[in-house]
Structure 1
């Protein structure tokens, strides 16, 4: 949610879908090579799916369609949030990402934000990653581009998020968004569910709520279980 001139201009909600047997650690400062960067750690490859850096830059990586898992000769996409979150601003991080060789990784989407702006980056496995600024208002990113309602999840849940009460971080009230993240309804199409049930060893394993205050404060509330089945707790930043 991008609200220029608001006390809390940037708010982020995210579920993480992953194999249940892929070990991970809750967000903390795990990486000596990235001082001050806090993120959830993937024990398999050592990177992160979402990270927040010392200058207040958040970055989250998403797989694109048909690109789940590693591939021979490709770098781990878990390094990308760490690199981006180390930047001094979301704008600087985005510029750096667009200079990369997209062919070094399997295809990915990347969301980068700070208290001033938010960006979407798309890398298709060749050439250079392409970036666009996320406009004011609420945007939803999946394995597809922002607000792409050809994806059943976006088609079902974008309007529901837009209709939900916006969080009030100063009061600690994120209830409406917590309820949205815990929505496992799908009406027969599992691709439409926001909270993916554990099937064949894969599903939603954790969730995050992140807020950026215009004055510089930032917060991260993390649920170390599928939302609705665990408690959101504050991460020490």
Structure 2
């Protein structure tokens, strides 16, 4: 997952809205979003290489997501996808979970991590010490620490705000995520490509694999939309939208 846009406590009827693109090698085995057979409380896509996820929700009202930190030397070897899975399976509040993670986050591959327990939205990475609760507003999490800014994240925040002035309709947010134009000016072609919101790096066998729109209603239910793209470069419809799935969860007691 390389770009996560969050609207937190800005719309009165939808306190949390997420629009996110997952960028990954096309060959990496993946399952589309669904309820997991072994952990049926989790609704998420699944990485078949390590068994974790990049973004998901749980039946008891939790949300979690990760991105990698590009150009950061890996210190640990644990999969960052386990951060999402472990939080969704836990009953920890956001503060307690992030405080405990602080003690072992160097054991993971470079990450940005978002956790929401139904009440508070928190953020951590393993490049900087400590963690934080995110204030109300629009936030963009890319492949740099949240304390840093670049044109990709700044443009993401602007476009998220503009899209939400017309409401949180999922198709409008999906169209916003599918923008392939480059953010900023880069001399090297690969940097121009990776600065795009919708990444197409066919020569590297890498790019945007899926887009997710997730929103929380006041009654505690989640709406989860996932748009899958054809990532078989040899096919004529390469990177065209394929299946669009919608899931809804009801709050549990």
TM-score by length of 2: 0.78
- Please give the root-mean-square deviation of Cα atoms over the aligned residues, in Å: 2.7
The CA distance in 2 between the partners of 1:72 and 1:114, in whole Å, is 28
Q: After superposition, where does 1:1-237 map in structure 2 within 5 Å?
A: 1-3=7-9, 6-30=12-36, 32=38, 34-67=39-72, 74-88=77-91, 89-98=93-102, 100-124=103-127, 130-146=130-146, 148-149=148-149, 151-166=150-165, 168=167, 173-186=169-182, 189-199=192-202, 200-225=204-229, 229-230=241-242, 232-235=244-247, 237=249
Matched residue count = 226
Contact in 2 for aligned 1:18/1:205 (Cα 8 Å): yes
Contact in 1 for aligned 2:112/2:143 (Cα 8 Å): yes
The CA distance in 2 between the partners of 1:81 and 1:166, in whole Å, is 30
The CA distance in 1 between the partners of 2:244 and 2:229, in whole Å, is 9
Deviations 1:96-147 (A, max 9, x none): 433x4122112211011254331111112xxx86211111111100011337
Contact in 1 for aligned 2:111/2:126 (Cα 8 Å): yes
- Aligned residue for 1:3, secondary structure, equals strand
The CA distance in 2 between the partners of 1:31 and 1:90, in whole Å, is 25
Contact in 1 for aligned 2:170/2:225 (Cα 8 Å): no
How far residue 191 of structure 1 moved from its aligned partner, in angstroms, is 3.2
Contact in 2 for aligned 1:10/1:117 (Cα 8 Å): no
The CA distance in 1 between the partners of 2:243 and 2:99, in whole Å, is 36
More strand by share: 2
Contact in 2 for aligned 1:74/1:104 (Cα 8 Å): yes
Structure 1: runs of 5 or more not aligned: none
The CA distance in 1 between the partners of 2:53 and 2:148, in whole Å, is 25
